Amino acid sequence: MIRILVADAMSEEGLAPLLADPTIEVVQKKVSEVEDELDQFDALLVRSATKVTEQLLQKMTNLKIVGRAGVGVDNIDVDAATRYGVVVINAPNGNTISTAEHTFAMMASLVRRIPQAHISVKSREWNRSAFVGVELFGKHLGIIGFGRIGSEVAKRARAFGMHVHVYDPFLTKVRAEKIGVDVCTLDALLAQADIITVHTPLTKETKGLLGPKNLAKTKKGVYLINCARGGIIDEQALIPFLENGHVAGVALDVFEQEPPGDHPLLSFDNVVVTPHLGASTVEAQVNVATQVAEEVLTFLQGKPVTSSINLPTLSKDVYEKIQAFYTLARKMGILASQYMSEPVQEIAITYSGSVADLETTFITRSLLAGFLKPRVASTVNEVNAAMIAKERGIAFSEKFSANGNDYNNSITLTVYGENKTFTLKGTHIAHYGDRIVHFNGFAIDFAPEGHLLYIQHHDKPGMIGKVGNILGDHQVNIATMQVGRQEAGGKAIMMLSLDKPLDDALVETLEQISDIDVVKRLEV
């Protein structure tokens, strides 16, 4: 039974695909309520409240995927998740509209003083002159961060007759022109804007972006809005600017610490606040929960996810094309690792023919994961394979060749060890399967599957018979057998596929046959 912990409040409607699956148990509890069972969950779903720390990941030893039902993953230690081989996904666009609309609600609240007027009327006052606002029409709006939410805010601002100025160092000119906004420098935005709204992630660069220096560059009477992440506008730095009236008002949906407690900003009449409600609409919550639920289900079914933070993302089309090579590469990694039972320094992969045109990052990671699996105690998969290889001092490289060398496609793997080099070549043949067509310098043709027995020997009459007799005497059935040699009378190999694995004693018996140099069991 697959177990999924849903640690933050999520839409039941959105979780329906998981709740309806009889092979899945969904536990909707806080982490603190399931401390004793943390090692039993395969997946963890969160919003922004649960902090997915390294300590939590260490306790969740069976965890394979963390799904963030929302955008920001700053509550998740993505580096630690990557190290532990845990996939992190989010729901990048399910709450875009809700957050853009909330930003507008905050903007209207700020300039028309709606929350203050509301409190006044509820206190049985009727003080119309105290709540004179300003229009949005004709005002200059500065948007910092022009991604999904920033651009939706811009569309709405234009409908309100505002002039929109945008600062986003990663925005391409083509995209900006398409939307028809004024793209400017941060300084130009700060100098022109009557209202500034931030829509960036919280990063090293954006933390304190609106701090003392940049706040001083804003227009006197500016309004500020943060519906992105606490800390992009420096909360402490705001205080003197509010006290001296330089900043006319601030709207905050997010805080450096959530909840903010008894924060000094809360004492200002012109600071409008909401408790991180940007994504809190029925629609957004259904959207984000549905997106992560479907993605988690897809992932647990062994299919590729489309919104991963720490895996290359693949479309369904691309996945279908690479799937066969992904499996072949994994098997090649496993074979090479078992054959090269010594430290290795480098793994070189050459993709030839049709496979060279595909997105090979995933295929390479699959091969590395296959190679590393028998060598590391921790989980190793496509998420952390490249990182673990680097940590262990194993360099890896990819080369591409249009020529498939007699095959429509092939993957050639060369592993450089301390004392030897091992080469393997595999191909995938549609409707036939994976074949290894070159093994350690010998042309051969076998399926990399099951209990394999590799024997390197001298090319002499009777060798096959000797091996066959010993295996037969010990009730070991040979399913298939392939042979190859470099030249008549020279070195030769046999690759046998057996119905059961050999024990150590039988391997030793085979090794004692004269003219046999190497006997290796390979399990794929």
Ligand X SMILES: O=C(O)C(=O)COP(=O)(O)O
- Cα within 13 Å of Cα(361), Cβ side: 10
As measured in angstroms, the least distance from the Cβ of 178 to ligand NAI is: 14
Residue (71 or 424) nearer to ligand X, CB: 71
Contact call for residue 199 and ligand NAI (CB under 6 A): yes
Distances from the Cα of 159 to the Cα of 27, 28, 136, 194, 359, angstroms: 44, 41, 10, 17, 42
- Angle at which helix 282-300 crosses helix 12-19, to 10 degrees, equals 20
Residue 148 in contact with ligand NAI, rule: CB under 6 A: yes
Rounded Cα–Cα distance for residues 200 and 202 (Å):
6
Nearer to ligand X, 70 or 208 (CB): 70
Q: Out of 71, 225, 411, 453, which residue is the one contacting ligand X (CB under 6 A)?
A: 71
Contact 170, 196 (CB under 8 A): no
* Bridge-based pairing state of the strands 516-523 and 451-458: antiparallel
Active site residue 458: no
DSSP letter string, 375-442: G-SS--STTTHHHHHHHTT-EEEEEEES--TTSSEEEEEEEEESS-EEEEEEEEETTTEEEEEEETTE
Task: Return the range that interacts with ligand X (CB under 6 A); candidates 69-77, 211-219, 304-312, 378-386.
Answer: 69-77
**Closer of 14 and 448 to ligand X (Cβ):** 14
Structure letter (DSSP) for residue 455:
E
Instruction: Print the binding letters for residues 162-181 with ligand NAI: x by CB under 6 A, - otherwise.
Output: -----xxxx-----------
Residue nearest to ligand NAI (CB): 147
Structure-token match 């079914």, residue found: 301
Site for ligand NAI contains 205 (CB under 6 A):
yes
- Least Å distance, CB 18 to ligand NAI, is 22
Among residues 2, 3, 19, 72, which is the contact residue for ligand X, using CB under 6 A?
72
Q: Which helix (H) or strand (E) holds 173?
A: helix 173-179
Q: Taking CB under 6 A as the rule, does residue 95 contact ligand X? A: yes
Stretch of 199-207, 217-225, 348-356, 361-369 lying at the interface with ligand NAI (CB under 6 A): 199-207
Q: Cβ distance 335 to 424 under 8 Å?
A: yes
**Cα–Cα distance measured from residue 144 to residue 412, given in angstroms and rounded to the nearest whole number:** 48
96 binds, among ligand NAI, ligand X, none (CB under 5 to 8 A by kind): ligand NAI
Quote the least distance from Cβ 198 to ligand NAI, whole Å: 8
Which tokens in the block code for residue 57? 């990941």
Return the residue of 14, 67, 145, 304 that touches ligand NAI, per CB under 6 A.
145
Q: Which does 145 bind (CB under 5 to 8 A by kind): ligand NAI, ligand X, none?
A: ligand NAI
Residues 6+ apart with CB under 8 A from 474: 506
Judged by CB under 6 A, the stretch of 9-17, 140-148, 240-248, 337-345 that binds ligand NAI is: 140-148
Which of 156, 276, 365, 428 is close enough to bind ligand NAI by CB under 6 A?
Answer: 276
Contact present, 157 and 106 (Cβ < 8 Å): no
Considering the rule CB under 6 A, would residue 253 count as an interface residue with ligand NAI? yes
Among 24, 63, 254, 309, binds ligand NAI (CB under 6 A): 254
Nearer to ligand X, 71 or 340 (CB): 71
User: Judged by CB under 6 A, which of 4, 15, 41, 70 binds ligand X?
Assistant: 70
Among positions 269-288, residues that touch ligand X (CB under 6 A) are 276, 278-280
Min CB(280)–ligand X separation in Å: 6
**Min dist. Cβ of residue 118 to ligand X (A):** 23
Q: What is the residue type of 211?
A: G
Residue 431 is a catalytic residue: no
What does 206 bind: ligand X, ligand NAI, none (CB cut-off 5 to 8 Å by kind)? Answer: ligand NAI
Task: Tell me how many degrees the CA angle 371-372-378 measures, rounded to the nearest 5.
Answer: 150
* Sign, CA torsion 430/432/436/437: negative
| Residues 208-237 close enough to bind ligand NAI by CB under 6 A | 227-229
- Candidates 47, 113, 276, 365; catalytic one: 276
Site for ligand X in 218-277 (CB under 6 A): 276
**Distance (Å, rounded) from C-alpha 135 to C-alpha 184?**
24
CB of 81 to ligand NAI, least distance (A): 17
Q: Residue 407: which of 384, 432, 374 has the closest Cα?
A: 432
Q: How many residues bind ligand X (CB under 6 A)?
A: 12
Is residue 360 classed as helix, strand or coil in its secondary structure? coil
> Judging by DSSP bridges, how do beta strands 491-498 and 451-458 pair with one another?
antiparallel
Q: How far is the CB of 215 from ligand X (least distance, A)?
A: 23
Catalytic site residue from 135, 258, 320, 508 = 258
**Rounded CA separation 158/143 (Å):** 12
Active site residue 418: no
Distance of CA 320 to the CA centre of its chain: 19
φ, ψ at 139 (rounded to 5°):
-80, 160
Contact positions vs ligand NAI (CB under 6 A): 70-72, 95-96, 99, 144-150, 167-170, 199-203, 205-206, 227-229, 253-254, 276, 278-279
Any idea which residues carry the catalytic annotation?
229, 258, 276
Contact positions vs ligand X (CB under 6 A): 47-49, 69-72, 95, 276, 278-280
